[in-house]
Structure 1
Amino acid sequence: MKAVIAACALLMLGGCATGGQGNSPWAGLTGSSCAKLSSDQELSMNLADDMAKEGKLHASLANLQGLPERYAQVQLRKARIYRQLGRSEAEPLYKGLLGTCLAAEGEHGLGQLAAGRGDNALATTHLERAARMAPTDEKIRNDLGVVYLNQLRLDEARFEFLTSLELKQGDSLAALNLVTLLIYQDQWSQAAELASRAELTPAQVGDAQARAQALKTQAKTASNQVAAIK
């Protein structure tokens, strides 16, 4: 069941270790790593961004590998691609961003990795740090809401999803997550109204229902275990 919950949660993360830099090979980064790239380097990075948006992750990574690794902007993009590819290189790259101008993004990435492993407690630690550093980043707020929802911290999850929605009007991911929460609470009319307003597809609403049901099963199992202990 935990594996199912983690898999469902990954689908609802925008964009989900240890908190310190530890012995990471990237731990020596300083603020200078956030220096401005040259125009040619910016062009290569923009090309890599476009390829990533098109789903061409390997091609995007190939373009990034031609850029100096000392730049935090480059390391962040590499980390995101490695995370999406399920590669272990993502974690040390995210850790290497801690203490730089992109520390919030580093904490965010570590939180996403922890959530993907089903470690919601660790994910919460990283994402709460990220939210304190970048309180207006709607992706961070959404992902923090997801890990709160995974822990059935419903009021906190609702707050984060609403914050994400208000920060970026029309954010379908945050809307989908809030619909999931509303269905979990059997608030069907509110869920239907939000789904319509956010123009969610029937398939998306179906995913929200499946996720809500998985959470209910999780909650029931936990309740039964507590009863058995007593």
Structure 2
Amino acid sequence: MALASARSAPIRREAKAQPAGGPTQQSLKSAQTRARLIDATIRCIVKLGYANTTTPQVAAEAGLSRGAMLHHFENGAALIKAAIVELHDKRLRAFRRAAEANEHETSTMVNAYWRQLQKPAFVAFHELALAARTNTDLARILQPLQDEFREKFNAQAVQLFPEWQSDPVGFDLAMTLSQTLLEGMAINLLTGAMEERMVEPMLRLVEQQIRTMRPDMKGQAR
């Protein structure tokens, strides 16, 4: 039984008001346990696929009993929602780090995003997105989180790339182009539809196209 379809009896929820003095040792321990469970969920999805991932398997992967897991997440749907939120947060953090670490040199940005797509988090999200096509329970969880992520990503992108403010339409096209091509390449590499030897020339082609679209580079050779 897949996580988003799991049903459990209502149990005590973890969320509690924090004392004014800051987090307690118990709340920190609880947060660490939740993080272990979320990471274990992502690992199971990568190793087993979404359809074959169950709450007992996640608990075992995290080194916890199923009862201990249900103390923090009342059912599989709550757990998968937390995993999707974490996958989105990872992507936002990586995007911010890449944008803040350089002067937005196109090659650096393209290669930074490509490296991010080689990590298990991308495999896990791709698995979830594909499963949601035919799993209505999962789709109901994923779609609003996708909409929320898109809003956050776009707002962060506008903030991090002021050089594109004069051309918001071009910026939207450049971001969509780079994401679509690079993520498509990553999927094709995973499935064997693209040979490894094509990665470098394709990355250079993406860089070339993005450079021609930049407001400060239009009409210039670089």
TM-score (norm 2): 0.28
TM-score (norm 1): 0.27
Determine which structure has more spread, i.e. the larger CA radius of gyration: 2
